[in-house]
Structure 1
């Protein structure tokens, strides 16, 4: 029986992935570091510091710019979501569907708490989520399950009774590793990727979430 639903944030609640991609292209191009579209696809769902570490290992630059890279990209995304407020289709429907089932709601995101709080603010979701779990300062980010396990601990609910809703395969692995039930809503161009089959349900949009799905898990 599902007692809580834990939402990923970037790419699921808010369409921030294009801004993360733009930020990566802009910063790494300044350093003369090539970055391909597939590289960004492969790292979707990972913490920005983990992504920077990957590129730093491949083509090191001045080490004092490591933190600058993380801060600059975060600032770019923060400014973009505050300006555009790009809520994902069906978000309010999904939240209302879960609330009608009487479950608790939480967020488990790789992003820093500053971005989580900004997202809640711009989407006018204050008071909706009883728990906000950030993976930004954890020892390991997604696909490690720690951020989801922390959310379940804060909810005081066993992971087996929690449902995670994700958009990325990295996030899906994180939730599955935490022994949670899972629903994935991948970006349309990647929807046919076979690895999403590990989810309990795959949806085209959050608009497709139904009470029966939640009840059946």
Structure 2
């Protein structure tokens, strides 16, 4: 299994979680929840805070179709080159069933799959060359569909940690942390929202780690007409 799947999963949760898919897995869930608003593209840039300056860290670009389904994501590294390409796959009923992704230099894609387990919880799983699960995460959501808990297991079913997320009444992430399989909790991230667009979706926020300002994050959102 490639480490990028795990990293991208965390990236999706912590950076673009407010544009996550809703419970039907077929449309984007914006903070404004406006029925007439259909997201077309999100460009998010992340800048590390160092002394009195900001330094570009990474960016991701996510594209959506006319129905609001997330189609692909491109992750840019510190040199602003594309280091990961992520393409979502849907069945004939427009239900998300998986994705293919390419790291820099890949010719053949890595793959993952999405399904519901026996408890009705969404599972995202990375597949190896033999089409067997090498890593999986099980997602628990709140009543609004926000992913408040994500637990990780390897291909042997061994527990490998969790992500815990907290949301405000506008479905915006306000706090989150990762805890490994030994119970070690990494820095607690909290978010301060500074600006929103005319649709009510955030365009600028600060990220704190253990109450220290570490990163500025900005978004440009465009919508289908």
- Class of the TM-score when normalised by the shorter of the 2 chains: 0.3 to 0.5
Pick the structure with more helix per residue: 1
With structure 2 as the length reference, what TM-score do the two structures score?
Answer: 0.33
Higher relative contact order (CA 8 A, sep 6+): 1
Pick the structure with more strand per residue: 2
